[in-house]
Structure 1
Amino acid sequence: MEKIIEIRGLKKAFGKTQALSDVSFDVSKGEIVGFIGPNGSGKSTTIRILLGLIKADEGRASIFGQDVWDEAVDIHKRVAYVPGDVSLWPNLTGGEVIDLFLSMRGQKVDKQRKEELIKKFEFNPTKKCRSYSTGNRQKVALIAAFAADADVYIFDEPTAGLDPLQERIFQEQAREVQQRGASVLLSSHILSEVEQLCDTVAIIRQGEIVEAGSMNELRHLTRTQIVMKTNEKVPSLEEQDFAHDVSREKGEIIFQLDSDKMPEFLHFIAPYHVTKLESAPPKLEDLFMRHYESTKGGV
């Protein structure tokens, strides 16, 4: 697939604080990539480098094959960006700010598209920005971004302050721009949002990418929860290398199964006359916590 965003070996320090030590991943054309990690892990620093706001100490990053620092002006003509905390001009109305953002792109404004988005996000564009809540300030930026005819959308915690219904509208719009061929980089710590929306994920911890790949690929790295009942006792389950955290409650056996060991597990339990067998697919949260349960925080 055509690579739209390419990041290789980014490093960035602020004084003695190493914000990024090794960040590498790609975003392909028409792909939604989840960029996840807790606050302070290096997500926003990476995005600021992509936007040409700060320069990396080492490594390289490009969008559309253009260097993000040297050719930032040309890149920005085709990129829409929404930060996690939007600041607006207090004396302008929300509608005026949306129009201003769109006019700065130098493109013809699709007024019908803009009005549709205002309606979908249930936004009142006539109020002064000083009166807007955090969620309404986010709506201004989201409406302006989705109304733009961009090839890349970069979102840094874009649903801050939005209610669940508005979060769903955001997800629908992200899928819509994806369907027309745009690429999306979504930085978020809301794992359920990333899991529902993204094709691939990159997990960052303390300035390093610790896991990256498609959702299907990464699910193989997590464990499936198994709940089962059998007619006969299964005395040696704890001794099997595919079973983890085995517990027995109310006649049920509950444990974590290595996802790639399912055939081995089914062969093992066949003689025990299984009467109940339930499996819960691995979640992105399981993979995420695997990397953070022993080491927390970051810079």
Structure 2
Amino acid sequence: MKMLEIKHLSKSFGKTQALKDVSLEVKSGEVLGFIGPNGAGKSTTIRVLLGILKADSGVAKIFGKDVWKEAIEIHKRIAYVPGDVNLWGNLSGGEIIDLFMSLQGTKNKEKRDELIQKFELDPKKKARSYSKGNRQKIALIASLASEADLYIFDEPTSGLDPLMEAVFQEEVAKIKAQGKSILLSSHILSEVERLCDRVAIIRQGVVIEEGTMEELRHLTRFEYSVETNTSPVALREVEGVHDLTINENKATFQADSDKVNEILQTLLPYGVLKLESNPPTLEELFMRHYEGK
């Protein structure tokens, strides 16, 4: 079942076209990582989904409902955390969390108290005294304590230290285990790689790549290191081998995924003692697209 669906979405601000042709979907029980640099169109896409902005053209639906025409109904079942949280300065952190939860219709105080403890938040302090990280914790606690069916996170760990990032990732894993759906926009690629089932990469208002990590890895090269009985000089002649370095009987190189069998056949006569391969990270895939390769 599709919890979120976007087809050929476009949005312009004057002469600036923020979204040109965005299409993506989030299925039930799935975590989709939505990545791209500043200005690529991530936040604009999310604002359209929240019914804050009206798209110029295209289709955007959550729970099968139109995000602009049926925003009120949709908001009853979603939780949203932006990357920059603004709060009411005269209210305490606890009062704001309770306000957010009441607006969403959530009454799980036990979960709220557990999250306040995990995120090490003092709920009695006035919001005006909070740092950026503590303001972020308020929004995260309120959303994670909710009983939403779809969670939309736009740079949710902005301002958090690594320990609190780990707490967030642990809570997202719990939500995922409950079969909930999540759209996660994050600049922390290791976070996306750890949490997400699929990744969509947006560039200049267009989703240029989408798939599981394994599907995306087929598009780029693995890194190999090999140790043989004698120097594997024949690797220099193999098509699909890149950045080859040979030091006596050891070699390191990158290889196209469809050339692995040929490479192994070339190495066998040299007597392979050790062979290691490392798949590309999400960061390498991301940089590949933004270097224009």
Question: TM-score if structure 1 supplies the norm length?
Answer: 0.94
1:266 to 264, 267, 271: 264
Report the Cα distance in structure 2 between the residues aligned to 1:18 and 1:116, rounded to whole angstroms: 43
Match of 1:87 in 2: 86
Match of 1:45 in 2: 44
What does 1:1-299 correspond to in 2, within 5 Å? Answer: 2-105=1-104, 107-249=105-247, 251-294=249-292
Higher mean C-alpha deviation, range 62-71 or range 253-262: 253-262
Secondary structure of 1:62's partner?
strand
Render the CA deviation track for 1:65-117: whole Å, top value 9, x for unaligned.
00111111100000000000000001110001001111112x24111111011
Report the Cα distance in structure 1 between the residues aligned to 2:267 and 2:248, rounded to whole angstroms: 19
Name the aligned partner's letter for residue 39 of structure 1.
N
Report the Cα distance in structure 2 between the residues aligned to 1:227 and 1:133, rounded to whole angstroms: 46
Inter-CA distance 38–103: structure 2 relative to 1 (3 Å threshold): same
Name the aligned partner's letter for residue 169 of structure 2.
Q
Give me the identity figure in percent: 61
Name the aligned partner's letter for residue 206 of structure 2.
E
Name the aligned partner's letter for residue 240 of structure 2.
F
- Residue-pair matches, total: 293
Quote how far apart the aligned CAs of 1:22 are: 1.2
Report the Cα distance in structure 1 between the residues aligned to 2:184 and 2:140, rounded to whole angstroms: 13
Name the aligned partner's letter for residue 73 of structure 1.
I
Gap regions ≥5 residues in structure 1: none
Report the Cα distance in structure 2 between the residues aligned to 1:263 and 1:236, rounded to whole angstroms: 14
Report the Cα distance in structure 2 between the residues aligned to 1:124 and 1:54, rounded to whole angstroms: 34
Quote how far apart the aligned CAs of 1:280 are: 1.4
Name the aligned partner's letter for residue 129 of structure 1.
A
Inter-CA distance 235–108: structure 2 relative to 1 (3 Å threshold): closer
Secondary structure of 2:43's partner?
helix
Name the aligned partner's letter for residue 58 of structure 2.
G
Gap regions ≥5 residues in structure 2: none
Report the Cα distance in structure 1 between the residues aligned to 2:252 and 2:181, rounded to whole angstroms: 41
Name the aligned partner's letter for residue 60 of structure 2.
A
Quote how far apart the aligned CAs of 1:57 are: 0.9
Report the Cα distance in structure 1 between the residues aligned to 2:48 and 2:248, rounded to whole angstroms: 54
Higher mean C-alpha deviation, range 124-133 or range 271-280: 271-280
Report the Cα distance in structure 2 between the residues aligned to 1:239 and 1:60, rounded to whole angstroms: 51
Name the aligned partner's letter for residue 91 of structure 1.
N
Name the aligned partner's letter for residue 9 of structure 1.
H
Name the aligned partner's letter for residue 238 of structure 1.
R
Render the CA deviation track for 1:190-209: whole Å, top value 9, x for unaligned.
11000011000000111111
